[in-house]
Amino acid sequence: MKIDLKKLILILSLLSLFITLSNSLFASFRVQKESLIHNTLESNYAYATKIAFSVRDLMSSASTQLLYSSRILSQDFKNKKLLDDEAKRIRNQSNIFNSVFIANNEGVVLATDPDLGIKGQTLSSAGSEIALREKKPFISDPFIAQTGRLLITVSQPIFDNEEVYLGYISGTIYLNDPSILNHMLNKHFHIDGSYIYVVDDERRIIFHPDKKRIGDQVNGNPVIDDISNKNSGLKQIVNSEGIEMLAGYHYVPEVGWGIVTQRPLSSTLEPMNELIYRVMLNALPMTILLILFIVQCARIISKPLRRLAEGASTMDIGQIKTTKAWYFETMALQKALISGISFMQGKIDKLNSDVAKDALTGLANRRVYEICINTWESYHRSVAIIAIDIDHFKKVNDTYGHAVGDEVLKKLSEIMSSCARAADVVCRIGGEEFLILAPAMSRDSAKEMAERIRVQVSEYDFNTVGNITISLGVAVWPYDCSKLSQLSKMADDMLYQAKANGRNRVETADELE
């Protein structure tokens, strides 16, 4: 089954619509995805930078407070009450420190707040060793103190008026226990999978929402590699658990830490599914209207061509003339069809009127038959032929004479002509043999016409003779033979078959297949 123009227009239009919508959705998805990733990376970087500045300011504030306290202590370093009071004041003043202690130039603890049970002991921690050795302000790397806690110390040296080193004052900030720093970092843990972690300059994790990760040394992570090079930035990475993450990070040179804020890529893109669904839902009404519009346009565009095709297949010039050809191609085709059919019909009519008539019956003769066959074969139009012969006509001539036989032939010609269409050609081939050429007629329609002629002839009361019968054979080109010139023989074969089967009947080629 061949596709018609309406379906072709619909298929091409709907395909174009589908491709356009798919491309729009895909482009929208890509743009939104890239925008979400970019915005999340920028947001994480900005947030990491904010936390980094807060940490820097916190450490600066801690150092300033200890510096002020060291100057007070330098005035009367041997006053134990002053030492105890100053340690207590510093710890309670801003809640920056979890503990404060003061040690002499040999590392012996002179005062602590709160009481840590180390007063009078000589400290051997890494922080104490650095303070005694360097004799200058410093912020230690994270270490485990004698108390068993992971912490950092912020220290200021104490010198008397003659610049003699007396000892130092240190404040400790706990990294795992509650502290102002821990609170600053920990409150930014989010339920969408976002979190902050901190690494030191030795690539060790010193803060992480998952306590089990604290102390781990991280290798093979591009973010940590960049922080180790004292850089800040943003990256899309895969973490140690194989999860794609969007990370923003900032290096804090004052303490040698890297602050990393990251969020899972899947959490970032999760709104995309809802967004695409809403876009499709909002586009659906207009898409339906567009499809209906395309269907209507396809019908309007194809209608004149369909009517012209139907008119051409049946050679119905009336249908062709009444077709509303509203665009150029259909107008040109309509003119060509009208011109061609009119020319063909005029040529046939002229032949009929000039040299194509049988002298006795007024029907077309064999010459017209041959011209029609040659003409129609060049147009590649299907043609049906009905072969007709009077049963026992010789007996009519022998019994009633040739004059009566001629009257029978004339009346039979009238009956056949009345049953044929205007486009059909009724021919007398010779004697009592007739052919009807029916262009663009189906097998069923030809058989129906033949049966109608047979019935009318059998029921008609011919003068003098009474009732007679006829036998008919039907064949259709190109279905029953390859060449149109062979069609009359096929119809004759069907005619003889009808006579062999008892006369007064119609036989068609398909009934013998």
Q: Is the C-alpha dihedral spanning 287, 291, 292, 296 positive or negative?
A: positive
Question: 3-state SS of the chain: helix, strand, coil percent to 5?
Answer: 55, 20, 25
Q: Which amino acid is at 272?
A: M
Q: Which amino acid is at 168?
A: Y
Quick check: is 432 catalytic? Answer: yes
Nearest Cα to Cα of residue 474 among 428, 508, 426, 435: 508
CA–CA dist 287, 293 (Å, integer): 10
Q: At 358, give phi and psi (nearest 5°).
A: -75, 130
Contact by Cβ (8 Å): 172, 145: yes
* Token couple for 148: 């068993």
- Catalytic, out of 42, 270, 432, 513: 432
Q: What is the DSSP string of 421-485?
A: -TT-EEEEEETTEEEEEEET--HHHHHHHHHHHHHHHHH--BTTTB---EEEEEEEETTS-SSGG
Which strand ranges, in their side-by-side order, compose the sheet holding 425-430? 425-430, 433-439, 383-390, 470-477, 506-508
* Omega of the bond leading into 304 within 30 degrees of 0 (cis): no
Contact by Cβ (8 Å): 233, 247: no
CA–CA dist 474, 447 (Å, integer): 7
* Cα dihedral value 398, 403, 409, 410, nearest 10: -170
Strands (E) located in 160-231: 165-174, 195-199, 205-207
Report the catalytic residues: 432
